[in-house]
Amino acid sequence: MSRLQAVFDRTRTGNRAAFVAYVCAGDPDFETSVEVCRQLLARGVDILELGVPFSDPLADGLTNQLAAQRALEGGMTAARVFELVRRIRDFSSAPVVFYTYYNLVFANGVDAYLRAARAAGVDAILTLDLPPEEAGEVVAAGRAHGVETVFIVAPTTPDERIARIVEVTTGFLYYVSREGVTGVRDQVAANIPAAVARIRARTNLPTVVGFGIGTRAQVAEVAAHADGVVVGSALVNCIRDHLGDRARLPLAVGDRVADLAAGVHRR
């Protein structure tokens, strides 16, 4: 059983959704990022989604773009992202998912990249700008090296394309609840129950929901329907707000995630 499957089995038995936290690897610097990840995984995060810093993150809003910029300016490279995962493995066996862009995978050689990711301790990869029709090399390398694949379903995805996406997904389906880029919103999208039901009609894979979720109440609203809830920008904003006190920063993020993660328990 994979670590991802074990998490979803455990949360399903516990009548709750999995809490998935996104942060950008190396934001705002390597050592602080290690401690942020330590706090996240100690205070309620079931699955850690690590953004791989990229100079042109088209799917991300300003919050996550600036996080990537901070990480890159702090010296993060592909090799250091793998090093960060190895450091995480010193204190946690929780699943780690890479949130990345295809250029970063392709430029390093697809097979070599997936092999290195697995060796570092990565469980799955979500390549945002890689359509399933062109994902054969990544899927094959993932299967060869034991890295699960995650693909996105959007509000605009037709039913016949969901079936195609399911064919190349091995980890979980990531339902992007809003059109556009990442970022905190005042309200969650109204179509989540119907969208999750539409996906579940075509697969038994877990469905997690992200984009625009930033309060405990919003987490609870989504957790009532989805197998997992992703919170990213709200945590990245917390990092941004504490840049002036990096000793305190990881604890502040830990406090924030503990509050958010409390929303995953269903009544």
Nearest residue to 23 (alpha-carbon basis) of 231, 209, 252, 162: 231
How many CA atoms, within 13 angstroms, populate the side-chain half-sphere of residue 105? 22
Residue 226 binned pLDDT confidence (cut-offs 50, 70, 90) = very high
Choose the catalytic residue: 60, 123, 148, 221.
60
Active site residue 60: yes
State residue 212's pLDDT score. Answer: 84
State residue 188's pLDDT score. Answer: 64
pLDDT single digits (tens) 104-130: 999 999 999 999 999 999 999 999 999
Choose the catalytic residue: 27, 46, 49, 148.
49
The pLDDT of 7-18, averaged and rounded, is 98
Predicted structure pTM score: 0.95
Active site residue 49: yes
Residue 181 binned pLDDT confidence (cut-offs 50, 70, 90) = very low
pLDDT single digits (tens) 64-96: 899 999 999 999 999 999 999 999 999 999 999
| Lowest-confidence region among 1-15, 46-60, 168-182, 229-243 | 168-182
Q: What is the mean pLDDT of the chain?
A: 94
The pLDDT of 128-137, averaged and rounded, is 95
Task: Name which CATH class applies to 3-264.
Answer: alpha beta
